[in-house]
A and B are shown apart, each in its own frame.
Chain A
Amino acid sequence: MSTAHSHDAAGHHADEHHDHGPAKGWRRWLFATNHKDIGTMYLVFSLIMFFIGGSMAMIIRAELFKPGLQLVDPMFFNSMTTMHALVMIFGAVMPAFVGLANWMVPLQIGAPDMALPRMNNFSFWIMPFAFTLLLSTLFVPGGAPAGGWTMYPPLVLQNGTSFPMMIFAIHMMGASSIMGAINVVVTIMNMRAPGMSLLKMPLFVWTWLITAYLLIAVMPVLAGAVTMLLTDHFFGTTFFEAAGGGDPVMYQHIFWFFGHPEVYIMILPAFGIVSEIIPTFSRKPLFGYDAMVYATASIAFLSFIVWAHHMFTVGMPLAGQMFFMLATMLIAVPTGVKVFNWTATMFKGSISFEPPMLFALSFLFLFSIGGFSGLMLAIVPADFQYHDTYFVVAHFHYVLVPGAVFGIMAGVYYWLPKWTGHMYNIKLAKTHFWLSTIFVNVLFFPQHFLGLAGMPRRIPDYSTQFADWNMVSSIGGFGFGLSQLLFVYLIWSTARGGVKATDKVWDTAAPHGLEWTLSSPPPYHSFEVAPEVK
C-alpha cells in the first residue's frame, strides 16, 4: 500500500512535465513504448497464432481420424505439420513468454518500464510481418514449406517459392527474439529496485534471465543454418551437399545446437511461472529457492551439450552416442530437483485450488510424464526404436502442451486480474481447466502406444493396425481445440469488465512479490519511484 501512495505522489509530480495517459487510438499501439501495452500486444498476437497453429493441428487430426486419405493431399498434409510447428513454436509459445516478460518483469523487479522501450516496440512489430510472410506461403505456387519445421536438407531444398519466404520469415523472428532477449537482460541487470539482489529476484525473473541468454546464444546459430540453406539453394554453395564436399548431417548438428536450447527456451519461463504459483496457493514459501536457481542454470548449461540426441540414427561414432546419451540423462537430475522442490513446497502447506493452481498442478504431473518419456528417449538403443515415431510426438507434446502451454495459461489466470482489474469467472475457468486436462491426455497419451507399435511420425495415412488409437487421439484433439474457445471467451469478458479485483487479487492465498503491491489494474506508469526491497 505504501508503494501505491508513493506512486501517486510521484505521478502528480511527473504530470507537470509530460502527459501520462496512453495515446489515443491506433497510435497507442503502433507507437507503443509502454511495457504493458507491448506485453498485451504480444499476448494477443500469440493467442491468434495459437488458434492458427491449432487449426492446422485440427486438419492433421482430421486426416488421421481414420486410415486412407480422405481430406488432403499428402503434400498439403506435410505443409500442415511443418507450419503447425513453426507457428506454434515461434508464433504462439515464444511470443506468449515474451508478452508475460514484458508485463511482469518490470512489475516484479520494481522497474518503471523495460530498459529499451523503442527496441521493445520494434521487436514486437517485426512479428506480424514475419508471420504474414510465413503464412502467405500457403497461397504461393508449390504450397507452403513441407519439409518439416526442422528444415533438413536436401528435402527442404525441394520446396518452391515458399523456401526463401520461410527463411526470411525465420530471420525476422530471430531478430525479434534477440531484441526481446537483450531487452530482458538489460532490464533485469540494470533496473532492479534497490535492495533486490540477484538471489532475491522472483523465479519468473530468474528463469527469464537465463532464457534470454539462451536466446541470444542460439538464435544466431539458427540464422546461420538457414542462411547456409539459402546460399546452397541460390548461390551455388554446397555446405550441405555431399557432391560438393558438404554434409547434410552437418546441418542437423547446427540446427539442433540451436534446437535443443530452444526446447528449454520454451519451458524455463513456464518453470518460473509455476514456481510463483505453487507457493502462493500452498501458502508456504518456495522450497529450496537457491537450488531452483542453480537447477535452472544447470539445465541451461546442459542444454548446449546434448543436441545430438535428436539425431542418434544418423550414424554417429560409438563414443559420440555414449557422450550424448550420458549428457542427456544428466538433465534428469536438475529437472528432478525442480519437481521435488515443487512437491516439497506443497508438502505441509495449506493448498487451495484456484484456476492458476489447477493448471500448475496439471503442469507438474503431465510435464513429469513428458520428462519420463524424455529419459526413455535418451537411452540410445531404445531410441533406435522410438526415433521418428509417434512416441517422440507424444513426448514433446507432453512437455510443450501441458508443459509450456499450461504454464502460460496458469500465468494468464494468475495475473489476468492484476492486468485488467477484473476477476474472471472462476467456475468457467475451472471448466476450461478440466476440459483441457482431460482432452490433452486423450489426445496425446495414445500417441505413446502408436509410436511403440511402430507408427512413424509425419505421415498422412497409416496401416489399419494403428486405426483405433488414432481415432481416440483425434477425438481428444477436437475436444482440446474446442475447449480453448472458452479460454478466449474468458479473457475477452474479463478484459471488458467484471467483479473488481483487489490489489492483492488472491486475498485468501499468499501471493508474494512487488506486483501485488500495485493497484489492479496497475497505473499506466508504475514504480516511477523505485520501491524498497528488504
Chain B
Amino acid sequence: MSKILKYAAAGIAASLATGLLPGQAALAAWELNMPVGVTELSEQIHRLHMLIFWICVIIAVAVFGMMIYSIVKFRHSQGAVAAKFDHSTKAEIVWTIIPVAILVGMAIPAAETLIRIEDTRNSELTIKVTGYQWKWQYEYLDQNVSFFSTLARESDAARQLHSGIDPNTVEHYLLDVDKPLVVPVDTKVRVLLTSGDVIHAWWVPSFGMKKDAIPGFVNELWFRANQTGIYRGQCAELCGRDHAFMPVVVDVRSKDDYQAWLKQQQGGDSASATAAVEKVNDGATTAIVAKAE
C-alpha cells in the first residue's frame, strides 16, 4: 500500500514537473508526456497537444473546484440547509455558449495543423512501405533499392516465452531491427503505405505521424526530419500474433551519408567490390604520394 502511495505521489509530482516544463523530459523510464519529436509536424502536433491539455486542465480546475467546494461547503453533517432552486436559464445559456467558444478556439489551430499534415506535395524522396505479418518492406521508388526490415535477433531471442533472457540486458528491446529505413535529414520524404496481408499501421512517434497500411489500398504521409539520429516506433494496428514484434526503425543521416549509403545499396552484390576499389584507389594514392616524397 505504501509503495502504491509512493508511486502515486511520485506520479503527481512528476506530472506537475513535466507539465510546467513541457518537452524537457528525456526518454526515461517514468516518461509522462508525448516526445516533442524531430519534425516540424511533430513539433506542431506537440504544441497542439499541450494547448488542449492546458485548456482541459483549466476547465478541470474550474469544474472540479466547484464540485469540491460544494462537497466541502454544503455538507449535511455540518447542518447545511438545501436551497430550493432547480434551474437558471441564464446559467444554462452561459455554460452552453462558453464551451462552444472554447471549442472553436481549439478547432482553428487543429484545422491549420491538419491542412499541413495532408499536404504531401513537393516531396523530394518517395518510399513505399509495405506491411507484412510481421515485418516491413521498404522500397525506394525509382532508386532500385528494396529490402525487408525485421525484429533484431537479440530482441527476438529474448522475447520468446520462457526465454530466460532478461529484456533489460537487450539494447533497445523490441525496438531494434536488422536493417533500418535510411533517409536523409532536412528532406521532405513521402511515405506510401500498403499491406500484403492484414492492416498494419506505420508509426514513428518522433515524426508525429501514424497511418494505416491497408491491403489493396495506398495511403500516404510525409515527414521532414531536422536532426540526424535513429528514431524508433512500432506497428500500431493489431495485426495478429506478433503484432508487438515488428518495430519501425528509421536512421536519419546527413545528405552525404545518405547518398553514400544509397550508392552502396544500389551496388547490390557489387557493393563490396565498390568498397574494395575505393580502398585500392586510396592505397594507390598513398603510394603515389609516398613516391613523390
| B121 within 8 A of partner (CB) | no
Q: Which residues of B contact A329 (CB under 8 A)?
A: 103, 106-107
Q: Are A155 and B52 in contact (CB under 8 A)?
A: no
Q: Which residues of B contact A224 (CB under 8 A)?
A: none
| A199 within 8 A of partner (CB) | no
Q: Are A286 and B86 in contact (CB under 8 A)?
A: yes
Q: Which residues of B contact A147 (CB under 8 A)?
A: 238, 240
A337 to B88 alpha-carbon distance, docked (Å): 12
Give the one of B66, B87, B159 with max A CB within 10 A. Answer: B87
A329 to B76 alpha-carbon distance, docked (Å): 37
Binds B, one of A7-15, A103-111, A319-327, A526-534: A319-327
Binds A, one of B43-51, B179-187, B263-271, B272-280: B43-51
Q: Are B32 and A454 in contact (CB under 8 A)?
A: no
Q: Are A467 and B29 in contact (CB under 8 A)?
A: yes
Q: Which residues of A contact B282 (CB under 8 A)?
A: none
Chain B 157-172 interface mask (CB, 8 Å, partner A; 1/0): 0111111011110001
92-142 of chain B: CB within 8 A of chain A = 92, 95-96, 99-100, 103, 106-107, 110-111, 113-115, 117-118
Q: Which residues of B contact A365 (CB under 8 A)?
A: 64, 67
Task: Known contacts A73-B161, A155-B198, A158-B198; decide if A349 and B34 are in contact (CB<8 Å).
Answer: no
Chain A 449-487 interface mask (CB, 8 Å, partner B; 1/0): 100111011111111110111001001100100000000
A461 to B173 alpha-carbon distance, docked (Å): 10
Neighbour of A352 across the interface among B29, B64, B77, CB < 8 A: B77
Report whether over half of chain A's contact residues are helix, strand or loop; otherwise say mixed.
helix
Q: Are B64 and A249 in contact (CB under 8 A)?
A: no
A381 to chain B, nearest CB (A): 4
Q: Are B198 and A315 in contact (CB under 8 A)?
A: no
| A67 within 8 A of partner (CB) | yes
Task: Known contacts A351-B76, A454-B233; decide if A287 and B87 are in contact (CB<8 Å).
Answer: yes
| B33 within 8 A of partner (CB) | yes
Q: Interface extent on A, as a size class? A: 35 or more
| A167 within 8 A of partner (CB) | no
| B197 within 8 A of partner (CB) | yes
B154 to chain A, nearest CB (A): 13
| B237 within 8 A of partner (CB) | yes
Task: Known contacts A74-B244, A376-B53, A458-B243; decide if A314 and B27 are in contact (CB<8 Å).
Answer: no
Neighbour of A375 across the interface among B52, B208, B217, CB < 8 A: B52
Q: Which residues of A contact B60 (CB under 8 A)?
A: 368-369, 372
A382 to B54 alpha-carbon distance, docked (Å): 14
Q: Are B114 and A465 in contact (CB under 8 A)?
A: no
A288 to B203 alpha-carbon distance, docked (Å): 46
A341 to B95 alpha-carbon distance, docked (Å): 10
Q: Are A340 and B174 in contact (CB under 8 A)?
A: no
A251 to chain B, nearest CB (A): 10
A457 to B75 alpha-carbon distance, docked (Å): 42
A154 to B131 alpha-carbon distance, docked (Å): 13
Q: Which residues of B contact A523 (CB under 8 A)?
A: none
Q: Are B74 and A68 in contact (CB under 8 A)?
A: no
Nearest residue in B to A476 (C-beta to C-beta)? B4
B118 to chain A, nearest CB (A): 5
| A427 within 8 A of partner (CB) | no
Q: Which residues of A contact B205 (CB under 8 A)?
A: 385, 454
Q: Which residues of B contact A152 (CB under 8 A)?
A: 198-199, 238
| A102 within 8 A of partner (CB) | no
A388 to B234 alpha-carbon distance, docked (Å): 11
| B288 within 8 A of partner (CB) | no
A467 to B31 alpha-carbon distance, docked (Å): 10
| A380 within 8 A of partner (CB) | yes
Neighbour of A382 across the interface among B8, B52, B75, B82, CB < 8 A: B52
Neighbour of A343 across the interface among B66, B88, B117, B243, CB < 8 A: B66
Chain B 53-97 interface mask (CB, 8 Å, partner A; 1/0): 100100110011011001100111100111111111001100110
Q: Which residues of A contact B42 (CB under 8 A)?
A: 385
Binds B, one of A49-57, A228-236, A239-247, A493-501: A239-247
Q: Are B214 and A249 in contact (CB under 8 A)?
A: yes
B43 to chain A, nearest CB (A): 11
| A425 within 8 A of partner (CB) | no
Neighbour of A364 across the interface among B32, B67, B103, B241, CB < 8 A: B67
Q: Are A381 and B44 in contact (CB under 8 A)?
A: yes
Q: Which residues of A contact B63 (CB under 8 A)?
A: 339-340, 343, 368
Q: Are A155 and B160 in contact (CB under 8 A)?
A: no
Chain A 369-391 interface mask (CB, 8 Å, partner B; 1/0): 10010011001111011011100
Q: Are B71 and A361 in contact (CB under 8 A)?
A: yes
Binds B, one of A174-182, A277-285, A299-307, A411-419: A277-285
Q: Which residues of B contact A463 (CB under 8 A)?
A: 172-175
- What 17 additional pairs, Cβ within 8 angstroms, besides A337-B96, A341-B92, A461-B159? A146-B240, A155-B198, A247-B217, A283-B76, A288-B88, A313-B211, A322-B111, A344-B91, A351-B70, A368-B64, A387-B210, A388-B201, A388-B237, A449-B33, A453-B27, A460-B244, A464-B167
B-contacting residues of A (Cβ < 8 Å)?
67-70, 72-75, 78, 146-148, 152, 154-155, 158, 241-243, 247-249, 281-291, 313-315, 318, 321-322, 325-326, 329-330, 332-333, 336-337, 339-341, 343-344, 346-352, 361, 364-365, 368-369, 372, 375-376, 379-382, 384-385, 387-389, 438, 441-442, 445-446, 449, 452-454, 456-465, 467-469, 472, 475-476, 479, 508, 510
A-B contact pairs, 14 of them (CB 8 A): A74-B243, A154-B198, A155-B199, A242-B217, A281-B76, A284-B84, A288-B88, A314-B219, A347-B66, A349-B70, A352-B77, A384-B45, A387-B201, A452-B34
Those 8 A-B pairs whose CB atoms lie nearest each other, nearest first: A242-B216, A459-B244, A453-B31, A315-B219, A352-B76, A348-B83, A285-B86, A372-B56
A-contacting residues of B (Cβ < 8 Å)?
3-4, 7-8, 11, 15, 27-35, 41-42, 44-45, 48-49, 52-53, 56, 59-60, 63-64, 66-67, 70-71, 74-77, 80-88, 91-92, 95-96, 99-100, 103, 106-107, 110-111, 113-115, 117-118, 158-163, 165-168, 172-175, 197-199, 201, 203, 205, 208-212, 214-217, 219-220, 233-245
